[in-house]
């Protein structure tokens, strides 16, 4: 029987982009949507077989996140290239803000370390995936690899140990996909250009996002869903101000709010990708999901926190 390893996607609830500049952010894993990897005997060398992309990646490919990851793991553990094929598949749409690159790297990391007989702690997986993320995202904050490798909600500040926290209740979320692939490297680069042009204005927005995120953490801990929703709306406005919005994201936000969502915002890099909306209850979560689907978009339901 094949030994399969998997990793979840993620959603950022508060603080994306500002987190690149040292501000806090809050992210949750999306455990129902995962990347999976399993190994089988190789054809003379190490190959990552990305089944969804129909691509076979070898260790020499220095521009691939997977070869960077494998090379780093092999050098750190002083092992030579194994004769191994790692098959990889993912339910996470690429370029959607759901952490597809961190999830696929994490799944590959788990499959390869298992084959090599190396027992990695979550923080070690997270660090290895962070190096690979640089290939995809340029200057990542580290939030994606952290939430995906730890698979628990995190309050994250770059360069600090991630903090897990308790939720005061179950939160019902709907994720809506614009279907527009967007590069996080590009949106992060665009934000950096704006910051270079007008540091006062942009730093002011980052400060406001920081306040929203801190308020968001408290509201989640208090189980105050109305406050979480309002802060999500505020965070969305600020993300539009820093230039990472998209008209399709606006449509998804409008559909969700019209369907009764307590709040809605883009999530992740923006410029396309996904939106996340907060529903009042499981019943409303289903209704919002249906309205998004009726409007012609893909939608998923996910929850976090305990009652």
* Site residues, ligand MEV (CB under 6 A): 12, 16-17, 19-20, 97, 137, 140-141, 143-144, 184, 188, 268-269
Token reading at 231? 């802060």
Nearest to ligand MEV of 47, 178 (CB atom): 178
Please state, in angstroms and rounded to a whole number, the distance separating the CA atoms of residues 122 and 204.
35
Q: Which residue pairs from 246-251 have beta carbons closer than 8 angstroms and sit at least 24 positions apart in sequence?
A: 246/178, 246/180, 246/182, 246/270, 246/271, 246/272, 248/178, 248/179, 248/180, 248/272, 249/178, 249/273, 249/275, 251/295
Nearest to ligand MEV of 140, 305 (CB atom):
140
Query: At closest approach, how far in Å is the CB of 307 from ligand MEV?
Result: 28
Nearer to ligand MEV, 74 or 148 (CB): 148
Give 216's contacts (C-beta < 8 A, 6+ positions apart): 13, 14, 15, 26, 228, 231, 232, 235
Biggest alpha carbon–alpha carbon distance for the chain = 58
> Cβ distance 238 to 209 under 8 Å?
yes
**In terms of CB distance, is 39 or 274 closer to ligand MEV?**
274
What is the phi-psi region of residue 48: left when phi exceeds 0, alpha when psi lies from -120 to 50, beta otherwise? Answer: beta
Q: How far is the CB of 190 from ligand MEV (least distance, A)?
A: 11
Nearest residue relative to ligand MEV (C-beta) = 141
Residue 211 tokens, joined: 């306040």
Residue 133 or 230 having the CB closest to ligand MEV:
133
Among 131, 144, 254, 307, the one annotated catalytic: 144
Cβ 244 to ligand MEV shortest distance, Å: 8
- Minimum distance from residue 27 beta carbon to ligand MEV (Å): 8
Taking the complex as a whole, how short is the minimal distance between the CB of residue 205 and ligand MEV, in angstroms? 14
How far, in whole angstroms, is CA 121 from its chain's centroid? 20
Q: Encoding tokens for residue 136? A: 């995809």
Q: Are 67 and 139 in contact (CB under 8 A)?
A: no
Q: What is the DSSP string of 63-113?
A: T-HHHHHHHHHHHHTT-PPPSEEEEEEESSPTTSSS-HHHHHHHHHHHHHH
In the complex, the smallest distance separating the C-beta of residue 249 from ligand MEV, rounded to whole angstroms, is 14
For residues 162 and 24, the answer to whether their CB atoms sit within 8 Å is no
**Is residue 224 annotated as a catalytic residue, yes or no?**
no
Compare residues 19 and 157 and give the one whose CB is closer to ligand MEV.
Answer: 19
Catalytic residue positions?
Answer: 144
């Amino acid at each position: 029987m094949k030994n399969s390893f998997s990793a979840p996607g993620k959603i950022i609830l508060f603080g994306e982009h500002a987190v690149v500049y040292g501000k806090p952010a809050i992210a949750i894993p999306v455990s129902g949507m995962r990347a999976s990897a399993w190994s089988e005997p190789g054809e003379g060398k190490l190959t990552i077989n990305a089944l969804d992309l129909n691509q076979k990646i070898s260790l020499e490919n220095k521009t691939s996140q997977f070869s960077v990851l494998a090379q780093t793991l092999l050098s750190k553990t002083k092992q030579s290239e194994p004769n191994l094929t790692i098959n990889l598949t993912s339910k996470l749409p690429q370029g959607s803000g759901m952490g597809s690159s961190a999830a696929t790297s994490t799944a590959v990391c788990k499959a390869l370390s298992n084959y090599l007989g190396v027992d990695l702690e979550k923080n070690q997986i997270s660090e290895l995936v962070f190096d690979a993320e640089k290939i995809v995202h340029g200057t990542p904050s580290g939030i994606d690899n952290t939430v995906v490798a730890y698979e628990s909600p995190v309050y994250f500040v770059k360069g600090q140990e991630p903090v897990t926290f308790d939720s005061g209740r179950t939160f019902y979320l709907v994720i809506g996909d614009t279907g527009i692939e967007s590069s996080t490297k590009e949106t992060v680069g665009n934000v950096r250009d704006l910051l270079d042009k007008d540091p006062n204005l942009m730093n002011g927005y980052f400060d406001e996002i920081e306040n929203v995120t801190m308020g968001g953490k408290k509201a989640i801990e208090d189980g105050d869903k109305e406050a979480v929703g309002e802060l999500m709306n505020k965070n969305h406005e600020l993300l539009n101000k820093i230039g990472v919005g998209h008209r399709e994201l606006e449509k998804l936000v409008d559909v969700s709010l019209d369907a009764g969502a307590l709040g809605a915002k883009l999530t992740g890099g923006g410029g396309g990708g996904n939106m996340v909306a907060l529903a009042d209850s499981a019943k409303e979560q289903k209704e919002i999901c249906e309205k998004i689907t009726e409007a012609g978009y893909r939608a998923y339901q996910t929850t976090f926190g305990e009652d």
